[in-house]
Amino acid sequence: MIEPLRMSFVVACAPDHAFATWTRKASSWWPVEHTASHEAGSEIVFEPGVGGRIFERTRSGREIDWGQIVEWDPPRRLRYLWHIATDNANATDVEIVFRELPNSSTRVEIEHSGWERLGEIGQAWRDANHAGWDGVLPSYAGSCRVS
């Protein structure tokens, strides 16, 4: 078994805002260099509810699938199959838990697993995704601040 990636950090907002920022406002914080198209102005869409698609829509209207929602429990939990930049048969699992803390803040806990499905490239793909999360999460945390 390949060890899951686990990340945990605190954002300066309530869980409902943290969940909405992740799912409804991803276009405002997702770095263009971490999209499939690398095109400025692309929209990142999380279709609400179990079975909803996660995809990127470029300015020209092209849609690039990234994943599928398998659990939708706002504002507490989100789980999805993730296959950005790979075939959906190689999807990994992402689970995000939003835990309410005092002072209107939220602990965001992410577990990204399922690397063994990828066979011999599983460890390398895990390592690449670790770098990817490092490139995406600071922007998300900054977008969660409520002014």
| Domain extent listing, the chain | 5-35+72-143
What's the rounded Cα separation, in Å, for the pair 134 and 137? 6
Averaged confidence pLDDT in the chain: 95
Please classify residue 76 by burial: count the beta carbons closer than 10 Å to its beta carbon, then call 0-12 exposed, 13-18 middle and 19+ buried: middle
Q: Is 78 a residue whose pLDDT tops 90?
A: yes
Mean pLDDT value across residues 92-106: 96
What's the rounded Cα separation, in Å, for the pair 144 and 106? 10
Q: Is 142 a residue whose pLDDT tops 90?
A: yes
- The pLDDT of residue 120 is 93
Which residues touch 1 (CB under 8 Å, ≥6 apart)?
A: 116
Banded pLDDT at 13 (limits 50, 70, 90): very high
Strand residue runs (E) in 26-62 = 43-46, 53-57
Tally of CB atoms within 10 A around 104 = 12
Banded pLDDT at 88 (limits 50, 70, 90): confident
Domain covering 5-35+72-143, topology: Alpha-D-Glucose-1,6-Bisphosphate; Chain A, domain 4 (3.30.530)
Tell me the percentage of the chain whose pLDDT exceeds 90: 90
Mean pLDDT value across residues 51-79: 97
With both helix axes pointing from N to C terminus, report the angle between 15-23 and 122-143 in degrees, rounded to the nearest 10.
Answer: 120
Banded pLDDT at 20 (limits 50, 70, 90): very high
Mean pLDDT value across residues 49-60: 97
Banded pLDDT at 46 (limits 50, 70, 90): very high
- The pLDDT of residue 86 is 79
- 77-82 vs 105-113, strand pairing mode: unpaired
Q: pTM for the full model?
A: 0.94
Instruction: Find out whether 83 and 64 touch, Cβ atoms under 8 Å.
Output: no
Q: Is 147 a residue whose pLDDT tops 70?
A: no
